[in-house]
Chains A and B, each alone.
Chain A
Amino acid sequence: KAGVTQTPRYLIKTRGQQVTLSCSPISGHRSVSWYQQTPGQGLQFLFEYFSETQRNKGNFPGRFSGRQFSNSRSEMNVSTLELGDSALYLCASKREGSYGYTFGSGTRLTVV
């Protein structure tokens, strides 16, 4: 069965721009979480969506936002990009009631 698919794999953006990343979860998985991975901070939780609603949120500024569609696909948006937003953005999905998160391969965002 298909895994978690994230697109695009790589992105280069300029400071001040905005970016949208996409995540398609495993079929049947309605919970989608996003994580930011950097060498300095490691893996940090951004937010979780379930049934098109943000259910949990991490400690990131409001420039980071997301949404989930009725088919459970999710997008995250970062506005007014800063150099420090350069990171690997990971999406993970799971079935409700389980702890079995499956991660995608991530989107590598570089802000120049």
Chain B
Amino acid sequence: GESVGLHLPTLSVQEGDNSIINCAYSNSASDYFIWYKQESGKGPQFIIDIRSNMDKRQGQRVTVLLNKTVKHLSLQIAATQPGDSAVYFCAEFYNQGGKLIFGQGTELSVKP
């Protein structure tokens, strides 16, 4: 079936620590993956993306890792800040349906 799921529904970290959010996907044919951040009352906001021909991509304080062998995606946030508190979704672009398939989301809580 089509599904993208997250291993951990909630994650609580201390300010300044690194955060890792994981995601499993099922469509080995998908060639594009995205991480979104959703704050309360807002729509999903793009964080970082990666194509299937890559295994790592870095942005500002964020890194996405893709392991196609085990169909696993992760988002690493360095020096997590209170402003990073939100729900994080991984999404897979499903070419055959022309749509994004979202994971269930992980709520990240950053303690000051």
* A residues adjacent to B (C-beta < 8 A): 4, 33, 35, 42-45, 48, 55-56, 58, 90, 92, 99-106
Residues of B contacting A102 in the complex (Cβ-Cβ under 8 angstroms) = 46
| Given A45-B97, A48-B99, A56-B98, A99 contacting B34 (CB threshold 8 A) | yes
Residues of B contacting A45 in the complex (Cβ-Cβ under 8 angstroms) = 97, 99-101
- Sample (6) of A-B pairs whose CB atoms are under 8 Å apart: A35-B102, A42-B103, A45-B97, A103-B45, A105-B41, A106-B42
Contacting pair B102 A42 (CB below 8 A): yes
Contacting pair B43 A104 (CB below 8 A): yes
Cα separation A43 to B49 with both chains bound (whole Å): 18
If over half of B's interface residues share one DSSP class (helix, strand or loop), that class is named, otherwise mixed; here it is: strand
| Interface: B16 (CB within 8 A) | no
Nearest A-chain residue to B33, judged by Cβ = A99
A43-B100, A99-B34 known; 17 new pairs, CB 8 Å cut-off, are A33-B99, A33-B100, A42-B102, A42-B104, A43-B44, A43-B102, A45-B100, A45-B101, A56-B98, A90-B43, A92-B43, A99-B32, A99-B93, A101-B34, A101-B46, A103-B44, A106-B42
Cα separation A18 to B102 with both chains bound (whole Å): 27
Nearest A-chain residue to B98, judged by Cβ = A56
Residues facing A in B20-52 (CB within 8 A) are: 32, 34, 36, 41-46, 49
Nearest B-chain residue to A101, judged by Cβ = B100
Contacting pair B43 A105 (CB below 8 A): yes
| Interface: B89 (CB within 8 A) | yes
Nearest A-chain residue to B99, judged by Cβ = A45
Cα separation A52 to B23 with both chains bound (whole Å): 34
Cα separation A101 to B92 with both chains bound (whole Å): 12
Nearest B-chain residue to A88, judged by Cβ = B43
Residues of B contacting A104 in the complex (Cβ-Cβ under 8 angstroms) = 43
Nearest B-chain residue to A41, judged by Cβ = B104
Residues of B contacting A44 in the complex (Cβ-Cβ under 8 angstroms) = 102
Contacting pair B98 A48 (CB below 8 A): yes
